[in-house]
Structure 1
Amino acid sequence: MHINPYGRDPVLLAVDLVNRPPATADALRARCLDAGLVVDAPVREADLTEVRDYLDAWTGIVDAPEPADRARALNALLAASAAHPRLTDHADTGWHIHYRDDDMTLAGVVCSLVSVGTALHLTGRGMHRLGRCGADGCGRVFADVSRTGRQRYCSPACANRDAVRRHRSR
């Protein structure tokens, strides 16, 4: 089975930004650079606000109870942020597909990238592959990129704490 890797990195960026929200526009820029994004537009304070608002809507996809609900929520984000696909070699890194317009703000790029990445992730790996940590009191978001597709916790630490809690309760 071939799994499209292009959904993984944007979805993991979204998970990271949701679980550890950046405090400043410069921190958002740094996190995007760390995730491998080419940031070629000036970063504005409005980018931080727009990305936070977008991620609030994106967590609606994570929390949607049924695949059809996830699809509806994601389709709304795709309609608002993605453009028709086009080939580009904007950073001389090789030809690749963009699903966004040229000359977008950082917020626009993040929203488009995460929307399309989420669509690729869910359709390529399974509509159940986003969730909230199953450990009591955690609630952090995770993207299941495991081979088996059975992830229930945001981290090994939460999985271990929950296992210890279950063991002690017996």
Structure 2
Amino acid sequence: MSDVVGTVVTLVNDVTPGERRGRAYRPGDLVTAVRDALPPARTPDHPTAPEADELAGWAARLRQVVELVDAGELDQGCAALNTIMRETAAMPTLSRHDGEPWHLHFHSAEAAWAVSWAASLATALAVVLGNAAVDRLGICNAPACDRVYIDVSRNGTRRFCSTACQNRVKAAAFRARKSTP
């Protein structure tokens, strides 16, 4: 499940506009961004442009959930996530395909490509929201960055989306200390 939560973070960060590392961020080609954010595909013909657009829309809604949680609005975040899971018909389903053993999916076998991913990603995020790890999910604390992160460190102190943002904040604090007499 932690791999899928990591995929949520990557997809949200790569396909939703905002700020990244001190600069305005706009995703480039959505097909490429979605393909790069997801695990290697067994179906190389996915995503199509409409599928990438649809999944980017789901990612924007998942971003809103993270923003609510980060703002301390857990009840609203959970309600929004429940709506997403209902709309995608997220449900645990055992599946066996492509020569793999039985494994768990979180979408119906009939779900369209983007909806199947959205259901799985929403369910993974629900696992985080439904346990004590919820405080490890957040929005980067660096100025001019609104990328999301999930803290998987042992001590649970991560507050930045990347080392680059952490270093920007530390360098700015160092410069501020040096400039004061």
Class of the TM-score when normalised by the shorter of the 2 chains: 0.7 to 0.9
Q: Any idea what SS the aligned residue of 1:152 has?
A: coil
Unpaired stretches in structure 1, ≥5 consecutive residues = 1-5
Q: Which residue of 1 aligns with 2:5?
A: 11
- Give TM-score scaled by structure 2 length: 0.77
Q: Matches of 2:139 and 2:163 in 1, distance apart? A: 14
Q: In the TM superposition, what is the alpha-carbon distance from 1:146 to its structure 2 partner?
A: 2.0
Aligned length: 162
Q: Matches of 1:85 and 1:146 in 2, distance apart? A: 28
Q: In the TM superposition, what is the alpha-carbon distance from 1:141 to its structure 2 partner?
A: 1.4
**1:141 maps to which of 144, 148, 160:** 148
Runs of 4+ with deviation above 6 angstroms: none
- Alignment of structure 1 residues 70-109 onto 2, 5 Å: 70-109=77-116
Are 1:78 and 1:116, in contact at CA under 8 Å, matched by a contact in 2? yes
Q: In the TM superposition, what is the alpha-carbon distance from 1:91 to its structure 2 partner?
A: 2.6
- Alignment of structure 1 residues 1-170 onto 2, 5 Å: 6=1, 8-21=2-15, 23-25=29-31, 27-32=33-38, 35-36=39-40, 38-39=42-43, 43-64=47-68, 65=71, 66-124=73-131, 126-170=133-177
Could you say which structure has the larger radius of gyration?
2
Q: In the TM superposition, what is the alpha-carbon distance from 1:57 to its structure 2 partner?
A: 0.8
Q: Matches of 2:127 and 2:87 in 1, distance apart? A: 17
Q: Matches of 1:38 and 1:103 in 2, distance apart? A: 17
- Give TM-score scaled by structure 1 length: 0.82
Q: In the TM superposition, what is the alpha-carbon distance from 1:42 to its structure 2 partner?
A: 5.1
The one-letter code sitting in structure 2 at the alignment partner of 1:56 is A
Are 1:39 and 1:106, in contact at CA under 8 Å, matched by a contact in 2? no
Deviations 1:89-117 (A, max 9, x none): 12322221122111432211210111011
Are 1:130 and 1:144, in contact at CA under 8 Å, matched by a contact in 2? yes
Q: Any idea what SS the aligned residue of 1:18 has?
A: helix
Q: Any idea what SS the aligned residue of 1:104 has?
A: coil
Identity over the aligned pairs, expressed in percent?
Answer: 29
Q: Matches of 2:58 and 2:3 in 1, distance apart? A: 17
Change (3 A) 1:25 1:106: farther
Unpaired stretches in structure 2, ≥5 consecutive residues = 16-27
Q: Any idea what SS the aligned residue of 1:20 has?
A: helix
Q: Matches of 2:33 and 2:167 in 1, distance apart? A: 31
Q: Any idea what SS the aligned residue of 2:135 has?
A: coil
Q: Which residue of 2 aligns with 1:3?
A: none
Q: Matches of 2:61 and 2:81 in 1, distance apart? A: 9
